[in-house]
Chain A
């Protein structure tokens, strides 16, 4: 490791290869390809796994603000975040990928809380910046999405040597809150997010 960058030669995707709103019209709303990683996040309500219940509950909903954000929109919000060590976006580095974004609608008609799960793929398995990247994604979404969204950011399973530890940190509201009061870290995050409009 003779350069200070942890991954000096990352794979870069062309921006035109990234999913965009125009081509992303036929999105699979719920990706049920369970990785096991986010099983624990899914509430124990059996109707959630039933596509018919699912469509019923969303058509029943008369609150028009509830179904207006989809995975593509979330992707658009985070793909433009800059990588902390490359002058490239998380989208072009394939750190964030559309199929790894999952939106869970409210689990009950009494609730208005939706969940966004983003699984990030660090460029290399031991990237110590994984936490910072995850934090950037979480902060970006918490700032940009309406407060009825709960944002869960995790490292995609098997892509990082300490993914469980990083996930635990990213999922800890109190730690995240304290981290955001840290000036140095906030400086890094501000720079990462400066490329988002």
Chain B
């Protein structure tokens, strides 16, 4: 429907550079799968195929803890429980079909971070380490991904056994299975939560993406998204309230059409990004449930019989910069930019912007032209492209995190990439020649009628 035209040259004009900041040391000797930044502390956990989880500092870029002895096979996925006071709680999902919960008191951690010189005498006793708390058994085969809901109330896990499980922590270390969702026809590769609602997404080997929410005490599928032609490797929601910080942040001189776009996007709520073995990355958007704006853009309003069903449609396909399967995609919570990585070893950063044509249109006569009324108002462009980010190795995961080392600028983020080489690399996104940009802007303005 609203698919943008295929990638063309102007959508591949890098304006930023990914600069290597650090490699977390020491790296693992074998494949690393995924790295999860802690929701509030400057630490990350990395899932390793050597059955361990490595916890690194983003301040010193060094290894703080190695969590071993729990899983019998590769640790595939890690997720920090949000909103926990006084301790760090980590969930680990493994190819051994089990999930583990680990805890560690937080006061020690703070001390470590403040004394970042690294020459403190803190290997005194065991309670400094992550303690195994409990095991979540139930899946029949490898756990591929797990994720805590934003409130920390639920933990979702998914597996090659085609199911998605939702666990609720009733009291500390007492987990109850609240749902076993068996909608997929193949391995479930990834689960992720909506940032504002208890809405869960899962992506699968069956090429579909499915969404679930609770309806009258039962978790049910509320949407099935088709569009990818091969395995969907990753799904992630956009951050909450991004209208303030992404392309929508600059509100001056917008056309009526653009204002309406922002308003409607706000009603849809955070969007969803998915990436696939088919090499594409797609953005999905929820059809706003109520509101009279549906009629304005010619869309018939839909009256639902099943009140919980949601209609998610493809809003955009990102310009294709990858040559092999894309394993991971992540939205920046600060800028709304998207970063992706995969088998080709590249890291690509994309940014959404208003299409030049629509702003030119407003400048000329202010009324939207008829034939273009259905064309998307925004487009995604590649702003940075990095080859061989992990030498010749594949990149399994990529994610944004708050920058925490001494050189950080205010509110700056880093990109963390996790590779088959066992390394987690830290990248800074630098804007290329700001001066050059200004020149270009001037030229553009000069060229406009």
Contacts from A to B (Cβ < 8 Å): 40, 43-45, 107-108, 110-113, 146-148, 150, 168, 171-175, 177-178, 181
CB-CB under 8 A for A108 and B387, given A113-B344, A113-B392: yes
- Find out whether the CB atom of B345 lies under 8 angstroms from the CB atom of A113: yes
Chain A interface main SS type: loop
Interface string of B272-295 (1 = CB under 8 A from A): 000001100000000000000000
Which residues of B are found within 8 Å of A107, using beta-carbon distances? 323
Chain B interface main SS type: loop
Interface string of B154-168 (1 = CB under 8 A from A): 000000100000000
Query: In the complex, A148→B391 CA distance in Å?
Result: 8
6 residue pairs, one from A and one from B, having the closest CB atoms: A148-B392, A43-B323, A110-B387, A181-B73, A178-B142, A178-B95
Q: Can you list 16 A-B pairs, Cβ within 8 angstroms, ordered by A?
A: A40-B278, A43-B323, A44-B320, A45-B323, A111-B387, A111-B388, A113-B344, A147-B420, A168-B230, A172-B187, A174-B144, A174-B187, A175-B160, A175-B187, A177-B31, A181-B95
Query: In the complex, A113→B345 CA distance in Å?
Result: 8
CB-CB under 8 A for A168 and B344, given A108-B387, A110-B388, A113-B392: no
**In the complex, how many residue pairs between chain A and chain B have their CB atoms under 8 Å apart?**
63
Q: Say whether B208 faces chain A, with CB atoms less than 8 Å apart.
A: no
Interface string of B290-317 (1 = CB under 8 A from A): 0000000000000000000000000000
Instruction: Output the nearest chain B residue to A109 by Cβ-Cβ distance.
Output: B387
Which residues of B are found within 8 Å of A173, using beta-carbon distances? 325, 327, 343, 394
Query: In the complex, A58→B95 CA distance in Å?
Result: 41
Interface string of B67-82 (1 = CB under 8 A from A): 0000001101000000
Q: Say whether B189 faces chain A, with CB atoms less than 8 Å apart.
A: yes
Instruction: State the Cβ distance, A165 to closest chain B Cβ, in Å.
Output: 10
Contacts from B to A (Cβ < 8 Å): 31, 49, 73-74, 76, 95, 141-142, 144, 160, 187, 189, 205, 230-231, 277-278, 320, 323-325, 327, 343-346, 387-388, 391-394, 420
Query: In the complex, A172→B207 CA distance in Å?
Result: 13
Instruction: State the Cβ distance, A107 to closest chain B Cβ, in Å.
Output: 6
- Find out whether the CB atom of B187 lies under 8 angstroms from the CB atom of A150: no
Q: Which of A45, A108, A147, A172 contacts B393 (CB 8 A)?
A: A147
Q: Which of B144, B346, B392 contacts A146 (CB 8 A)?
A: B392
Most buried by A among B144, B324, B393: B324
Instruction: Output the nearest chain B residue to A111 by Cβ-Cβ distance.
Output: B387
Given contacts A147-B391, A148-B392, A150-B343, 6 further A-B contacts (CB under 8 A): A110-B388, A111-B345, A147-B420, A168-B205, A172-B205, A181-B95
- Find out whether the CB atom of A112 lies under 8 angstroms from the CB atom of B95: no
Query: In the complex, A173→B343 CA distance in Å?
Result: 9
